[in-house]
Amino acid sequence: MRHARVYAMVVAMWALMIAGGGIAVNVLGPIHAQDESGEAAVSAAKAAAAVGLVVAWVWALSRIKSAIFSPRRA
Amino acid sequence: MVVPDAHKAPGTTVARPGGPAILGGFAAGELALYAMHPADALLAAVLATAAAFAVGLADDLRAMGGWFKPVALVAAAVPILAIGAYDTDLAFPLFGEVHIPVLYVGVVVAMMVVMGNTVNSIDVLNGVASGVMAISGAALAAALVVMGRHDAAAACAPIVGMSIALWRHHRSPSRVFPGDSGALALGCMYGAVAIHGGAEVVAAIIMLPAITNSFLFLSSMRRIIEHREAARPTRVLPDLRLEATGDARAPVTLVRLLLMGGPMTEPAIARAILRMSAFSACLGVATAAASQAVMA
């Protein structure tokens, strides 16, 4: 297919979104504080982890983009 | 107002903006639904779209800097947050939901800013933004039906109907351009309905070609700038086909990647993007269906 590499990029983004969801639900979701006062700290930690996930997602996507569209493969 | 069509013969002009008609068509459809089945989310979607339209109209009338639209589009999230037309559970396909009462405010803001700007960024060729929105709106409706959210699926109908009507005038050769007011309104109405249906991630999957375009642009430019401020990634050949430039300063875009194989006509590139949009639409609906099967 003429534009297979662009489709590969779309599929890579889809896979990263699904995987990120899995981490959010299975790793971050179950974390809870022992008492109500600690809930704010846990929420802040979850928010920081979510931002970290997004940063990692963008980094991984940049690497995938470089791999898919590198001149050697063109 | 008319503007030149950069990919046509010199002197070709097109009416712009189509934003007022886009907002009017969407609002008429949603308010008709509201008359039959009053739901605050429908009003929130109309108000959010109107806010995005106002932001885009300001840019249509007076060219603003690159940061204006991403920042000003936060206003489109305000009606949804003020009316409370959202659920605080964020659904991740195949895995379940996370309850994020505070963080969900950020999700609403991100959804409106990202969707508005991605649709705006892909509005570069005749018939693309309108065609992508018609396909994406229909796919979101199908996904919401699969998820059992028939009320939100119905709210997609005005997006699809209005986008098809727009596409008839926007396809090559265009007789009207949506303009920033139209493109931002299109993206934000889609985002608002996705929030109403609790299908934020599925909606993003459906819109992946446009999101890919934005990602490629930002990752290559490494800063937020207007398209008109960047070097042109394509040039028009004498036979009116488009060719990718070798300019290293120009952003990487979806159109530029599609032209890696050689020059193409504008309608051929538009068809390639719409085929990609149909592919991601199928991916989104299949993801929603698989998720329902796993969760059942």
User: What is the per-residue pLDDT across B19-57, written as a single tens digit (0 to 9) for each?
Assistant: 999 999 999 999 999 999 999 999 999 999 999 999 999
- Is it the case that residue B210 has pLDDT exceeding 90? yes
**Burial class (CB within 10 angstroms; exposed 0-12, middle 13-18, buried 19+) of B30:** buried
Alpha carbon distance A20, B278 (integer Å): 24
- Is it the case that residue B286 has pLDDT exceeding 50? yes
Determine, yes or no, domain membership for B10. Answer: no
The token duo for A72 is: 């050697």
Determine, yes or no, domain membership for B205. Answer: yes
Give residue B146's identity as a one-letter amino acid code: V
C-alpha A64: how far from chain center: 13
Across the interface, whether the CB atoms of A47 and B92 are under 8 A apart is answered no
Alpha carbon distance B176, B166 (integer Å): 8
C-alpha A31: how far from chain center: 19
Parent domain of A43: 4-73
Alpha carbon distance B129, B167 (integer Å): 8
Q: Using DSSP bridges, classify how beta strands B234-236 and B242-244 pair: parallel, antiparallel or unpaired.
A: antiparallel
Determine, yes or no, domain membership for B230. Answer: no
Closest CA to B233 of B205, B206, B252, B258: B252
Determine, yes or no, domain membership for B256. Answer: no
Parent domain of B167: 16-224+264-295
User: What is the per-residue pLDDT across A24-62, written as a single tens digit (0 to 9) for each?
Assistant: 899 888 887 777 777 778 878 888 888 888 889 889 888
When divided into structural domains, chain A yields a total of: 1
Give residue B24's identity as a one-letter amino acid code: G
Determine, yes or no, domain membership for B8. Answer: no
The token duo for B150 is: 């028939």
Interface of A with B (CB under 8 A): 2-3, 5-7, 9-11, 13-14, 17-18, 20-22, 24-26, 28-29, 43, 46-47, 50, 58, 61-62, 65, 69, 74
Nearest to B219 among A6, A29, A62 (CB): A62
The DSSP secondary-structure symbol of B227 reads: G
A14: closest CA of chain B, how far (Å): 6
When divided into structural domains, chain B yields a total of: 1
What pLDDT score does B249 carry? 85
The DSSP secondary-structure symbol of A26 reads: I
- Is it the case that residue A74 has pLDDT exceeding 70? no
Determine, yes or no, domain membership for B257. Answer: no
Task: Mark residue B181 as left, alpha or beta (left: phi above 0; alpha: psi -120 to 50; beta: remaining).
Answer: alpha
Of the pLDDT bands very low, low, confident and very high (cuts 50, 70, 90), residue B220 is confident
User: What is the percentage of chain B residues whose pLDDT exceeds 70?
Assistant: 99
Nearest to B276 among A7, A61, A74 (CB): A7
Determine, yes or no, domain membership for B192. Answer: yes
Determine, yes or no, domain membership for B93. Answer: yes
Q: State how far the alpha carbon of B176 is from the alpha carbons of B4, B23, B118, in Å.
A: 11, 15, 20
DSSP assignment of B100-159, as one string? -TTHHHHHHHHHHHHHHHHHHHHTTSTTHHHHHHHHHHHHHHHHHHHTT-HHHHHHHHHH
Of the pLDDT bands very low, low, confident and very high (cuts 50, 70, 90), residue A71 is low
Q: At what angle do helices A39-68 and B208-221 cross, to 10 degrees?
A: 80
User: What is the percentage of chain B residues whose pLDDT exceeds 90?
Assistant: 79
Across the interface, whether the CB atoms of A43 and B98 are under 8 A apart is answered no
B205 touching A (Cβ < 8 Å): yes
